[in-house]
Amino acid sequence: MTDAELLEIRQAFAIEGAELLSEMESALLVLEADFNEAEAFGRLFRAVHTIKGSASIVRFEAVEHFCHGIEHVLVRIREHEQPLSQHLVVLLLKCHDHISTMMDQYCVGADPENNGALPPAHTALLDQLKEWTEETPAGQENPGSYDMLDESYLENSPGSTGTGFAFFEDVDDVQPSRESFPADGVAASERNARSQRVVRVDAVRIDQLSDLVVELVTASSVLEANIRRLGDHSSTESAIHVADLIKQIQEKTMSFRMIPVQTLFQRFNRIIHDVGSSSGKQIKLLISGGETELDKAVAEKLHEPLLHLVRNAIDHGIEAAGDRTARGKPAIGTIHLKAFHDSGNIVIRVGDDGQGINRESVARKAIERGLAKKDILPTETDILNYIFEPGFSTLEDATMLSGRGVGMDVVRKAVESIRGRIDVETAEGGGTTFQICIPLSLSLVDGFMVSLGDNLYIMPMDLVLETMELPNAESRTVMPNGSLQVRDRLIPCLDLRSVLGVVEPSPSMQHVVVFKHGETGVGLVVDSLHGEIKTVVKPLGRLFRNVTCISGAGILGDGSIALFLETGKLIEASKSAVHVPRR
């Protein structure tokens, strides 16, 4: 077997192993809550048995033997010779982590067995498993009931004798059970057909294909614009047809990159379990909208900010069981992860039913740090936004989880890096919810294009509330500087020309784009409106790394360049700029 073939087998083993380890962990967390959950016990047994079989196929004997030791314990539980307990679930979770570590080493090319580099806990865990197979430790509770356990995972494995070491034996004489293969063969055929419809593709290849399709979209737009300028109607129709086909290819390619958000949310089940246990709090996780799909690249970039929010909810939000019962709450706290689509974006909400945010404490801390002034009363939105400032924390003493002022500013930066925004809702004594709104894809953008002179700019379409002509100078003289009256209310208003430092004079007629921000929205003064546009985002080069208000660039159909505006950064940069222009 060549090195390339061996690497390919190891990669396939890694993909399957990750799925099975996730199934194993999920089943263990269910069993920890209910030792009698037969369905979860069946999933656990099947996952361990399949990992052992796969390890045998790739000749990874360390994992094979280790899983065999776990199976011995599980068989004793199934036969009611050994009760399932909290201590045993904790041990099996440690075994799960150990298998994951060994598989990670093996799949990157290191062979822990041959190199003698098995993790230090290997022997100790095997000894603990052996202890549980010899006799029942004293003080254990009633065993779980698994009489209805489906043992087809043993019967349907070719050559399996129940010991798990027959994967390379001659199986011609093995007689499958009648239940394994239906008489008419229809069900078996359907299973084979389903398995053949699924093809595993390396994520790198999907990314390469997506990048090529993005380039194809841009080239098609330029080609169509050039043909239109030539006035060749037949060629224009052909170009439109090609552009339509390319759009369909792009949509299909983007769907390849989409994954259910459930795969992201499930990672936090174990984190909540471990961190909650270490802090002495009882916490359960609720997941809603797990079937909602988002781009794989977006999911990867969301893991860190969501991790900070979940840890923050455990440490700052959820109270200890005694405090909760004293306030009339259930002893077990709840963290709720929810996802749904909204206007071409995906919205993720991270909520808890804890004590909420004390606004007075936040405002007092903001004054101490010079973020707010004593004589100016900040709005509720301003107070809650202080928690996203670097180094901000209301805890006097740091804990293992938080209190050092590192976390929430990282969350905001990470969300803004994928063109998203984060908002917070809280009720003192009722809990806190953080809402993250992000685009479905990082490459294609639905935007609204405006211009200053010959310069084109794009802002996110979902942020645009309305547009209007800028009132003339006479009607603005009675307005406070930096504000604009929209019907019956005043809203803050920024002059894009002043914020960006464009020196050329403004035209006689200008427009205002009102975009979402806070409770009232903000107006942005521009020269011209060009309407909705769908284009591809290109990152700026290192030369522009210090430009704060621009997040990227897009190539339009005629080959011109449009810059993407960061509305949040515009507001920050506008603090030293003149807002409404005086013509």
**pTM of the entire structure?**
0.64
- Across 31-35, 132-136, 183-187, 521-525, least confident range: 183-187
- Across 163-167, 249-253, 465-469, least confident range: 163-167
**Beta bridge mates, 487:** none
Q: How far apart are CA 581 and CA 476, in angstroms?
A: 10
**Tens of pLDDT along 67-118?**
999 998 998 888 888 888 888 998 999 999 999 888 888 776 655 555 446 7
**Tens of pLDDT along 226-258?**
888 888 888 888 888 998 898 888 878 878 888
Does 272 lie in the same domain as 400? yes
Query: Is residue 243 packed enough to be buried (19+ CB in 10 Å), middle (13-18) or exposed (0-12)?
Result: middle
Does 431 lie in the same domain as 322? yes
CATH number assigned to the domain comprising residue 555 = 2.30.30.40
Contact 463, 567 (CB under 8 A): yes
Does 296 lie in the same domain as 224? no
Does 288 lie in the same domain as 242? no
| Final residue before a domain boundary, out of 409, 439, 469 | 439
Query: Is residue 582 packed enough to be buried (19+ CB in 10 Å), middle (13-18) or exposed (0-12)?
Result: exposed
Band (159; pLDDT cuts 50, 70, 90): very low
Q: How many CB atoms lie within 10 A of CB 305?
A: 25
**In this structure, what token pair is assigned to residue 27?**
């089943």
Query: Which distant-in-sequence residues (6+ apart) come within 8 Å of 509 by Cβ?
Result: 469, 470
Compute the average pLDDT of residues 325-346: 88
Question: Where in the sequence is the domain holding 476, given as residue range(s)?
Answer: 444-576
Domains: count for the chain: 4
Residue with tokens 């992000």: 438
Residue 184 has pLDDT above 50, yes or no: no
Does 209 lie in the same domain as 121? no
Does 273 lie in the same domain as 375? yes
Does 253 lie in the same domain as 264? no
Contact 47, 96 (CB under 8 A): no
The strand order across the sheet containing 511-515 reads 464-469, 511-515, 522-526, 489-495, 483-486
Mode of pairing for the β-strands spanning 293-295 and 258-260: antiparallel
Contact 520, 489 (CB under 8 A): yes
Mode of pairing for the β-strands spanning 444-452 and 345-352: unpaired
Does 476 lie in the same domain as 430? no
CATH number assigned to the domain comprising residue 410 = 3.30.565.10
What 3-state class would DSSP assign to 288? Answer: strand
Does 473 lie in the same domain as 398? no
E-state strands within 205-318: 258-260, 283-288, 293-295
What's at 552, amino acid-wise? Answer: G
Band (343; pLDDT cuts 50, 70, 90): low
Query: Is residue 578 packed enough to be buried (19+ CB in 10 Å), middle (13-18) or exposed (0-12)?
Result: middle
Does 547 lie in the same domain as 418? no
| Final residue before a domain boundary, out of 257, 276, 297 | 257
Rg of the chain taking only CA atoms, in angstroms:
30
Q: How far apart are CA 127 and CA 530, in angstroms?
A: 71
| Final residue before a domain boundary, out of 402, 423, 439 | 439
Does 298 lie in the same domain as 251? no
Band (353; pLDDT cuts 50, 70, 90): very high
% of the chain beyond a pLDDT of 90:
13
**Tens of pLDDT along 296-311?**
888 888 888 898 899 8
E-state strands within 453-560: 455-460, 464-469, 483-486, 489-495, 511-515, 522-526, 528-536, 550-555
pLDDT of residue 451: 93
